[in-house]
Structure 1
Amino acid sequence: MDASTARMRLESTLTEIDRSIVVLRGDPSARDGRPGSDAGSVMTDTDRDRALLEAAVQHRRAVVEAIARLDGGRYGLCVDCGAAVPEGRLQARPEAERCVPCQSRRERRR
């Protein structure tokens, strides 16, 4: 993927994530007025929103780091071994920071 396409996709993703974070950071107490809501459903909604917010913040961090790699001339290179990240992987996840073998090793260690 060329640098201008990567930048456009990453910046677009960053904008979408930022919008999601704003929504997820909304006031959970506003749910109390919903018909049919009770303390249990509000807690479940709050827990779900908290998990979604955490995932969005982590995804945002990955996108910001990808933009920094792009600015530094290291975009598309594995952060662990320096090999090229496959084009298909970058097409699917423009923020991908590792080649497939390094990503697999990382996931096995978890």
Structure 2
Amino acid sequence: MDDANARARLEHMLAELDRSIRVLRGDPVSVGDRSAADAGSVLTEADRAQAMIEAADRQRTAVVAALGRLEAGVYGRCVDCGAPVPEGRLAARPEASRCVQCQSRRERRR
């Protein structure tokens, strides 16, 4: 993936993540007139929204880091071993920082 295409995709992802996070952080439901059962469902929705915000924040951090690697001239290189990250992986996940082997090792350690 060429740098211009990667930058455009990453910047678009960043804008979409920022928009999603803003929407998720909003308070579209007021609990003032609700019954206790409804209040419980609002808490469940709030928990779900918080989990989605945390996931979006993690992805946003990865996108910002990818833009930093692009600026540093090391985009597309694994941050662990330095090998090229396969084009298909970058096409699917432009924010990917590791080659498939290093990512697999990292996930197994978790």
TM-score range, shorter chain: over 0.9
1:32 to partner: Cα distance: 2.5
SS, match of residue 96 in structure 1: coil
After superposition, give the CA deviation of every residue in 1:66-88 in whole Å (9 maximum; x if it has no partner).
00000000000000000000000
Structure 1 letter corresponding to 2:81: C
What is the correspondence of 1:56-71 to structure 2 with a 5 Å cutoff?
56-71=56-71
What is the correspondence of 1:2-21 to structure 2 with a 5 Å cutoff?
2-21=2-21
* 4+ residue runs over 2 A deviation: 30-37
Structure 2 letter corresponding to 1:75: Y
1:33 to partner: Cα distance: 6.4
Structure 2 letter corresponding to 1:60: R
After superposition, give the CA deviation of every residue in 1:34-92 in whole Å (9 maximum; x if it has no partner).
88870110010000000000001110000000000000000000000000000000000
Give the unaligned 5+ runs of structure 1: none
Structure 1 letter corresponding to 2:31: D
Normalising by the residue count of structure 1, what TM-score does the alignment of the two structures yield?
0.93
Q: Distance in 2 between matches of 1:33 and 1:54?
A: 26
Structure 2 residue 56 is matched with structure 1 residue 87: no
Q: Distance in 2 between matches of 1:95 and 1:6?
A: 9
Between the aligned residues of both structures, percent identity stands at 65
Structure 2 letter corresponding to 1:85: V
